[in-house]
Structures are given as structure tokens and as C-alpha cells.
Amino acid sequence: MGADLIEAWVRHLGAERNMSANTVRAYAGDLAHLVDYLDRTGSGELGDVDLRTLRRWLAGMHAAGAERATMQRRAAAARVFFAWAHATGRLAADPATGLRSPRVDRRLPATVEVDQARQMLEALADRAGAETDPVLRARALRDVAIVEVLYAGGVRVGELCGLDAGSVDAERQVLRVHGKGDKDRTVPVGDPALRALEAWRSVRDLIAAPQAGEALFVGDRGARIDPRVVRRLVHRAVASVPDAPDLGPHGLRHAMATHLLEGGADLRSVQEILGHASLATTQIYTHVSAERLRTAYQQAHPRA
């Protein structure tokens, strides 16, 4: 019963709840972890689960040293699964109704300073300008455009890789982004990002293959660029800046949000740009800004 039930639930998550492929994959893995626990402990099948079993499952993860964020996601997956199974008549009761998630410590995300972001982008541009080989220069210009867009627009790496040529509206200075939950949004970008995009698009055909289709960014083999390639690129770019933390694309998203708020942007506008469904998700960046203010105060004020 378990495998068929999970398979039906996974189809429901993708087709009816419009969850991203990554979220569906993570939730499916969480239920597989629960099934494995039931098998190892002889606790029966999914239809035999009660609240006490679910609490023991979480307690076992905690004892094994699992991260609180992992436990929280697995508890959420269990609640979603059992609520669906009960609502659709597949299970007689919902044992996860009273299941609480462990609280997750909200860590301030690492980010770069404005000057460090500028140094990183200038270093990429200098490398592109010094390149004489046409193909290598095209790749370098692509890299500049990618990092400019990540920092200027705060887009997720998957959203960046999904951009098409028609996603860029240079006249209005915006990108049309297809985001999480199958939702589209418009993201403003500045002149430096638009200039970088224009330079890249002028040489894109030097490395783009037919299978790239309308993809805005392509990898070295000519197809639509892979998120793993973008992550490696960003880590290398940030590593070129002295004293900068080790960041990937999501770190540039954090940096963009933090710098917007420090520059006077309102929280609701930042929420819209980032594509957060809840304002509470965006509010962590106010804590980042407050932490920086406290650090500056403690370093500079004679009575700190």
C-alpha cells in the first residue's frame, strides 16, 4: 500500500498543488525516510501510523544529530501527506494533526558588502575585457551577465537558468521571471546588468547550439546552462574578493535584499522583487541590517 500511496501523493503535489520539482523530490524523500523508519522499527505501514509513532520518528532524528531544518521539513511533509490521505479517503484518520515541528534557529545569512560586490563584478569585467580568444571572451561576458543579473535582480538560480531571450525587457528595465509555485513576476534590473546582458547577447551565438532554443544563458557545450555550472561560477567569483564569505547564487540574493533595505527600500517592495509568498520570509533581511548597524555602532561609538 505504501508505495502506491506515496506515488499518488507525489502526483498530487506536482499536478494539483503546483509544487516545484525540487520540493516534490524533497517531500518524496521525506516520506521514504518515514517508511524506512517504520520498516526498521517494525512499526507497521503508513496506515498504522499514529501520533506517537511520528513523534518517535522525529525524536530518533534528533538523537542522530539531524539538523532542525531537516526535521522541520520532514514533519511538514508528514502533515501534508497524512492530511491529503485522510481528505481523499485513503486513510481513516490523520495522525499528524497534532504533530509539531521543532523550532528552527533563524541564522543571519552570510552576505557581501556593497564594496565587495563591486570588486567581484569589476574583476569579472576586467577578465572579459582582457580575453582575446572570441569563444573564451564570449564565455567571460556570459559570466559577467550571469552574476550581474543574480545580484541586480535577486533571482533564484533555477529562475536564472530558466530565463529566455524574451524574458528581458530592456526598454522597461525589467526581467520576466518564472518562479516557484509556477508564478511569474517582474523583476527590475539596473543599467549595469542590462549593459552586461546586451554584451553577452551580442556574442551568444558563438557558443549557443541548436538545442539551446530560446535560452538566455547557455553553457560551454551550447545547451541551456545548468544550475550547477552557475553555482561554481559564483563561488569562484566571490572567492576572488579578499575577506568575502564563501557564497553561491543564493548568497547574492541575500546580498541584493540586504543592500536594498539598507538603501531605503521598503520591505513590501523587496518581498515582491524576491517573489516571497509571505512577508515573514523577507523580514529576516531586516535582522541582517540591524546586525550590521549594531556592529558599526559597537566599532565606532565611544560609549558602545
DSSP β-bridge partners for residue 176: 186
178 is catalytic: no
Place of cell 546580498: 255
Q: Is 250 a catalytic residue?
A: yes
Highest mean pLDDT range out of 7-11, 126-130, 242-246, 255-259? 126-130
User: pLDDT band at 119, cuts 50/70/90?
Assistant: very high
Q: Is 285 a catalytic residue?
A: yes
∠ CA(203), CA(206), CA(209), 5° rounding?
A: 125
CA distance 74 to 87: 20
Q: Which CATH number fits domain 2-87: 1.10.150, 1.10.3470, 1.10.287, 3.30.1600?
A: 1.10.150
pLDDT attached to residue 290: 61
Spot the catalytic one: 180, 195, 201, 231.
180
Which of 86, 250, 287, 292 does the annotation list as catalytic?
250
Is 156 in the active site? yes
Residue 259 is among the residues annotated as catalytic for this protein: no
Choosing from 156, 224, 254, 259, the catalytic residue is 156
- Catalytic pick from 27, 37, 151, 285? 285
The number of angstroms, rounded, from the C-alpha of 177 to the middle of its chain's C-alpha atoms is: 14
Check residue 266 and give its pLDDT.
79
Q: Where are the domains of the chain?
A: 2-87, 114-299
- Rounded CA-CA distance 201/138 in Å is 9
The domains spanning 2-87 and 114-299 adopt the same CATH topology: no
Q: What are phi and psi of 273, to 5 degrees?
A: -65, -45
Choosing among 1.10.1060.10, 3.40.50.2300, 1.10.443.10, 3.40.50.300, the CATH entry for 114-299 is 1.10.443.10
pLDDT at 123 exceeding the cut of 80: yes
**Model pLDDT for residues 45-70, shown as the tens digit of each residue:** 888 899 999 999 999 998 898 888 88
pLDDT category at 302 given cuts 50, 70, 90 is low
* pLDDT above 90 (res 144): yes
* Annotated active-site residue in 204, 253, 254, 259: 253
Model confidence over 240-297: pLDDT tens digits? 999 999 999 989 998 888 888 888 887 888 888 888 877 777 777 766 666 655 665 5
Which residue is catalytic, options 127, 276, 287, 292? 276
More confident residue, 193 or 293: 193
User: Which pLDDT belongs to residue 295?
Assistant: 65
253 is catalytic: yes
